[in-house]
Amino acid sequence: SLLHQNNYLVDGELRPWSGESSEVYSTISSTQNYAPTLLGTIPTLGEKEALEAMDAAVNAYNKGQGLWPTMKVNDRIACMEKFVTQMKTKRDEVVKLLMWEIGKSLPDSEKEFDRTVDYIYDTIEEYKQLDRDNAKFEKNDGVYAHIRRGPLGVVLCLGPYNYPLNETFALLIPALIMGNTAIFKPAKFGVLLISPLLEAFQSSFPKGVVNIIYGRGRTVATPIMQSGKVDVLALIGNSKSANALQNEHPKSNRLRLVLGLEAKNPAIVLKDADLDLAIDECIAGTTSFNGQRCTALKIVYVHEAIVDEFNKRFAKRVDALKFGNPWESGVKLTPLPEPDKPQYIQELIDDALAKGASILNEKGGQTTENYIFPAVLYPVNKDMRVFQEEQFGPVIPVLSFKDINEPLDDMAESNYGQQVSLFGSDIKTLAPLIDTLVNLVCRVNLNSSCQRGPDVYPFTGRKDSAVATLSVHDALRSFSIRTFVASKDN
Ligand code: G3H
């Protein structure tokens, strides 16, 4: 049945909306002709409603004693616990919408939901620890200080379509528990799945603490930024949107940023690598959720001594992956939520073919309206778009190298610096290489594919890949500032 979301959350009220609405479609088709399936509608709010949300968040942050930022720690925790308890009752609905809205497989959709619930509980525990640390006084040069972490203010929170629940909440939850207030606009794909949670937000938090709005970015997010009242822009997505929003703020140099952006994580397969292991991990790293992960392996470097063997086996393994609807058993590849993605991936393939690459796997590049089968491209070079661009989809560029400095130089020149996967077995070779790699990216995955979790580990990047650090531990720090009360020894 269709889900018509006809209200939005501002200042503690689920306000009815009778204005324009936008239809939400799924690329998963219930017919054979790939006609998109209508899932429901969302409000297309205007500037007025966006600014009301903004003012509600500002008021909730600024007004009086005992409200959200100055509320007792245990009371704030109680609000968060109430929310997560209610959220858990919505698992089936949210998981179903994850599958239909973004085409994520059933096991991965369930994992996204459960991981988010765990993340909330872990954040609560981490916050308790932080509060215990806050209780300490210190004395230096005759000055007593009680140093504590306090909130930054009002957060505009925008999450990505590939983890519309988990990564949005990885921003929102730590921001809230630290005492910030928020305006949150759900991702373009994965927007309806927030609907089952609206009442939980409304009944768990004081008014104005969380405001949930819908609409076109330019109509709602831009005026919010232009108001100059946003203290933190928290966004996981692309740098084009982040830069555009940042530039709308009249005093952008005082805006704090918590950003998770593009990456082009390489795999480097050395000649003494365990090839079975390297292939297993590269399959997972390049094709999981069709490559639509910022942590996906987006370029594969293989030593020239083993590249032919790697390519033969890797291409066969890619072709063996099952494509289908997200709820079907054993499905690894699923329809793509962005309608223009198959065309974009096709352009990357055509460009690479024109510049000398071949498609190594038989099914590579086979298309339907809502899908394109991952193409393994070899040999890829720097002139190709697939080398330069973050494909964020099903195409796998492979290069061979003779000298390890070739991939290292490429990484040094790259605009990105999130993670790398390194495959090899001789510790004498690996150790100095790891020392070099950790200065080019923020996480070196030894004999394993790149990933964000476990969520206790820092999630960040160098260069254009990130600003600030997320994780159960780090996010509380990223959304707060150290403040203190000082008194003299007299
Ligand atoms: O899209 C970027 C996500 O942070 C990837 O997370 O490695 O857990 O899939 P993941």
> By alpha-carbon position, which residue is closest to atom 7 of ligand 1?
451
- b/e for 27-48, b at 16 or more Cβ within 10 A? bbbeeeeeebeebbbbbbbeee
Q: Which atom of ligand 1 is nearest to the CA of 292?
A: 1
Preceding omega of 454 cis (within 30 degrees of 0): yes
Q: Which atom of ligand 1 is nearest to the CA of 451?
A: 7
Q: Which atom of ligand 1 is nearest to the CA of 289?
A: 9
Residue 415 and residue 464 in contact, taking contact as beta carbons nearer than 8 Å: yes
Q: Which atom of ligand 1 is nearest to the CA of 293?
A: 1
- How many other CB atoms sit within 10 Å of the CB of residue 324? 15
Contacts of 44 (CB under 8 A, 6+ apart): 19, 20, 21, 22, 214, 215, 216, 219
pLDDT at 1: 81
DSSP 146-182: EEEEEE-SEEEEE--SSSTTHHHHHHHHHHHHTT-EE
Contacts of 245 (CB under 8 A, 6+ apart): 156, 158, 217, 221, 222, 225, 233, 235
Pocket test for ligand 1, best of 294, 416, 449, 474 (most atoms within 8 A of CB): 294
Q: Which atom of ligand 1 is nearest to the CA of 453?
A: 8
Residue in the structure block whose two tokens are 């024109």:
354
Task: Report the half-sphere exposure of 245 (CA within 13 A, side-chain side).
Answer: 32
User: How many angstroms does the Cα of residue 108 sit away from the middle of ligand 1?
Assistant: 12
User: How many angstroms does the Cα of residue 451 sit away from the middle of ligand 1?
Assistant: 6
Contacts from 355-360 at CB under 8 Å and sequence distance 24+? 355/381, 355/383, 355/384, 356/381, 357/381, 357/384, 357/397, 360/311, 360/314, 360/315, 360/398
Q: Which atom of ligand 1 is nearest to the CA of 459?
A: 4
User: How many angstroms does the Cα of residue 319 sit away from the middle of ligand 1?
Assistant: 24
pLDDT at 474: 98
C-alpha distance from residue 25 to each of 37, 96, 253, 342, 377 (Å): 5, 14, 38, 17, 32
DSSP 229-258: --SEEEEES-HHHHHHHHHHSTTGGG-EEE
pLDDT, averaged in runs of 10, over the chain (490 residues): 94 96 88 77 97 97 84 96 98 97 97 98 97 88 93 97 98 98 96 98 97 96 98 97 97 96 98 98 98 98 98 98 96 95 97 98 93 97 98 98 98 98 97 98 98 97 98 98 89
**Token digits of residue 11:** 């200042």
Residue 446 and residue 422 in contact, taking contact as beta carbons nearer than 8 Å: yes
User: pTM value?
Assistant: 0.97
> By alpha-carbon position, which residue is closest to atom 6 of ligand 1?
452
pLDDT at 34: 66
ipTM summary value: 0.98
> By alpha-carbon position, which residue is closest to atom 8 of ligand 1?
452
Q: Is 163 in the pocket of ligand 1 (CB under 6 A)?
A: yes
- b/e for 104-140, b at 16 or more Cβ within 10 A? bbbebbbbbbebbbebbebbbebbeebeeeeeeeeee
User: How many angstroms does the Cα of residue 287 sit away from the middle of ligand 1?
Assistant: 13
User: How many angstroms does the Cα of residue 293 sit away from the middle of ligand 1?
Assistant: 5
Distance CA 484, CA 490 (A): 18
pLDDT at 31: 59
**Token digits of residue 149:** 């972490």
C-alpha distance from residue 275 to each of 227, 303, 356 (Å): 55, 11, 26
User: How many angstroms does the Cα of residue 154 sit away from the middle of ligand 1?
Assistant: 26
- How many other CB atoms sit within 10 Å of the CB of residue 297? 28
Pocket test for ligand 1, best of 167, 290, 292, 391 (most atoms within 8 A of CB): 167
Strands (E), 304-442: 358-359, 367-368, 371-372, 375-378, 395-401, 416-417, 419-423
Q: Is 454 in the pocket of ligand 1 (CB under 6 A)?
A: no
User: How many angstroms does the Cα of residue 82 sit away from the middle of ligand 1?
Assistant: 27
Residue 182 and residue 211 in contact, taking contact as beta carbons nearer than 8 Å: yes
Q: Is 443 in the pocket of ligand 1 (CB under 6 A)?
A: no
pLDDT at 92: 98
Residue 234 and residue 224 in contact, taking contact as beta carbons nearer than 8 Å: no
Q: Is 486 helix (H, G, I), strand (E, B) or coil?
A: strand
Phi, psi angles (nearest 5°) of residue 452: -85, -40
**Token digits of residue 260:** 């998770």
User: How many angstroms does the Cα of residue 452 sit away from the middle of ligand 1?
Assistant: 5
User: How many angstroms does the Cα of residue 472 sit away from the middle of ligand 1?
Assistant: 15
Phi, psi angles (nearest 5°) of residue 237: 165, -135
**Token digits of residue 289:** 């959720």
Distance CA 204, CA 82 (A): 6
* Residue among 12, 19, 24 at smallest CA distance from 164: 24
